[in-house]
Homo-oligomer: A and B are copies of this chain.
């Protein structure tokens, strides 16, 4: 273990200095030459790929922009991303080491005598962390982090068997179980393989170093492809936990080898030779033709990853049946299944989607990974269509149900992201042995590195290009230095206090003046909008659509956007039993919640706080609170303690007697549970009085 036993302090210091923006700024400066296409020589194609590489995908209306092409500057996301690189990624590294996840590899090469530890999918923890590092390094080199990771990659690759197989769980006595049916359903071998491929591609796109990628290709070419697939001499294959589909398609995009795409399609179709019970088909969201799916069900992360893979398949093949199914599932998502926070997965049992409108708050599962899967899927749907409804879901999940998953200090994580919480209730602590909603480690530690890779890849989600021009999806202080599809260099600078304020100034600078379209996203939540180009008002902005601004652009043209940042009390569909008689507060993309510790009146039960949505409140930015958040002061009431009342009483008795005025204090949902344990609710009881 000496390889990885560098001092945490040293590591942090190195990372911190790298992260303190000079590296990032350098990337931006370099691109400021406005000749980015000249930078990428034929041998450095890897530098041009985005979070996923849609540059050659025939059915991708939008093309991804490299992470390195977008520098996020001081603002909302810079804090999160600095925390990610300074705190989360290094501390998760130490957790992975401490919990023996690297030892699992080292024992295979004689460098450790510790036994295999962790669940069957433990290798994926290492890969997801490596992918996070890969995305991170795409924003600028960090030598210490890169070298640490490279050393780990060396050891991972060293543990690969000559036949290409690489999985630290199915070795020794368990070797005969490899890809054996029915172990295949639950063994997560393809899941780990998928994360290995994604990690290898992210690291390759950061560094051009293909060591892990080559190992991944050997794994697929030498082990998987020869033996598993539709041919009579091949064995049956089932994803078990979808993930391999999107990984194989990204490998196809990276290498051009169509066999990877075909195998992904075969897995998405479901292998008829693998007999599955109907419960498994529901739970695993695989094993039958993806195009036969009519609703989201079963394990939420599995379903979301399957949808990602299926959308990737559509982006490459244009198979209309896939697009039809994906839209049917998306309607189910947005009509019945998504939390207002963008989280998904209502049920703890099976970590699963519930029935339509089954969206409990305190008992919400809303796994961080599922919200991330939701964002990844919608990102792909957006690329396929250019439709802003998908970007709205990306934004909702990102700012709320994903952002909540990592503590503000970056060292603890939510696995579940409930929309109501009572730290004194036993439902608060029965989900984790530690009894806390945020923990530094889970034995199934899927969420922490998943959050890390998401924040590390964030610059790649800001823009897309298309045959018509450029799309602006997300808003924050940033500079994009990239090129249009015709090769003309383009810089777009954003200046804003988004998401706290609704004004965004874009400065558009093409390398050569040219006519093209800038598609600016008008968020679905923004009812009233104003758009100006070089100071002149422009009509036509519609909430939930891209406003296409086509003109001849030249240096320092400006677009001024002004979104509606009024507080929006939301109601849920009456079929959502758990939200009846309650409202949620949203302001801009941010969903708010009440933490009891902020309230001037300390009610006994959160249901004693009553909102008055008809009475206007105010918003105040508090720089010193929770790393700087907008706080909503909403006029409300606090009623008599519920504890003094019977469980059932005649309807003639007031539901909320003895109301006295109070001010409800709401903070962004993503920032909850970062102070002392406190009751929390997103959906607040309300009165129309």
Contacts and interface: CB of A to CB of B under 8 A. Distances in A.
17 contacts: A282-B426, A338-B647, A340-B648, A348-B349, A349-B349, A354-B427, A355-B425, A357-B605, A358-B362, A358-B425, A572-B648, A574-B607, A574-B639, A574-B642, A574-B655, A576-B647, A580-B582
A604 to B, nearest CB: 9
Given A575-B607, A578-B578, A580-B580, A426 B639 contact: no
Contact of A358 (B427, B655, B685): B427
Closest 8 CB pairs of A and B: A581-B581, A355-B425, A569-B651, A575-B642, A580-B581, A574-B607, A575-B605, A613-B651
A655 B580 CA distance: 9
A355 B573 contact: no
Interface of A: 282, 297, 334-336, 338, 340, 348-349, 354-358, 360-363, 420, 422, 425-427, 568-578, 580-584, 605, 607-608, 613, 639, 642-643, 645-651, 653, 655-656, 685-686
Nearest to A352: B426
A642 B580 CA distance: 13
B647 A334 contact: yes
B571 A655 contact: yes
Given A360-B360, A581-B580, A581-B581, A647 B573 contact: yes
A571 B605 contact: no
Contacts of A340: 648
Contacts of A334: 646-647
A575 B334 CA distance: 28
Question: Which of A334, A360, A583, A642 has most B Cβ within 10 Å?
Answer: A642
Nearest to A297: B426
Nearest to A583: B651
A363 B362 CA distance: 14
Given A349-B349, A427-B354, A335 B574 contact: no
Contact of A574 (B422, B571, B651, B656): B656
Contacts of A422: 355
Given A355-B426, A357-B605, A425-B355, A685 B574 contact: yes
A685 B581 CA distance: 10
Contacts of A647: 334-336, 338, 357, 572-573, 576
A502 B360 CA distance: 40
Question: A-side binding surface: helix, strand, loop or mixed?
Answer: loop
Contacts of A335: 643, 646-647
A150 to B, nearest CB: 44
Given A336-B647, A580-B582, 7 more contacts: A335-B647, A568-B650, A571-B648, A571-B649, A573-B648, A575-B607, A580-B580
Contacts of A686: 651
Q: How many copies of the polypeptide does the oligomer hold?
A: 2
Contacts of A577: 361-362, 420, 578, 607
Contacts of A642: 357, 573-575
A392 to B, nearest CB: 12
A505 to B, nearest CB: 28
Contacts of A613: 651
A140 to B, nearest CB: 39
A228 to B, nearest CB: 31
A581 B575 CA distance: 12
Contacts of A426: 282, 297, 355
A354 B574 CA distance: 25
Nearest to A614: B651
Contacts of A575: 605, 607-608, 642-643
A188 to B, nearest CB: 24
Nearest to A581: B581
A650 B570 contact: yes
Question: Which of A355, A577, A608, A639 has most B Cβ within 10 Å?
Answer: A577
A50 to B, nearest CB: 30
Nearest to A586: B648
A645 B577 CA distance: 15
A229 to B, nearest CB: 33
A430 to B, nearest CB: 8
Contacts of A363: 360
B361 A645 contact: no
Contacts of A584: 648
A487 B647 CA distance: 42
A344 B572 CA distance: 29
Contacts of A639: 574
A575 to B, nearest CB: 4
Nearest to A606: B575
Contacts of A570: 648-651
A473 to B, nearest CB: 21
A607 B580 CA distance: 10
A119 to B, nearest CB: 21
Contacts of A581: 580-581
A648 to B, nearest CB: 5
Question: Which of A580, A583, A605 has most B Cβ within 10 Å?
Answer: A580
Contacts of A361: 577
Contacts of A357: 605, 642, 647
A580 B685 contact: yes
Nearest to A688: B651
Contacts of A582: 580
Question: Which of A340, A354, A643, A647 has most B Cβ within 10 Å?
Answer: A647
A41 B562 CA distance: 96
Nearest to A337: B647
A358 B578 CA distance: 12
Contacts of A427: 354-355, 358
Contacts of A420: 577
A194 B241 CA distance: 46
A645 B573 contact: yes
Nearest to A571: B651
A610 to B, nearest CB: 9
Contacts of A348: 349
Question: Which of A360, A578, A583, A648 has most B Cβ within 10 Å?
Answer: A648
A76 to B, nearest CB: 23
A639 B245 CA distance: 44
Question: Which of A354, A358, A571, A643 has most B Cβ within 10 Å?
Answer: A571
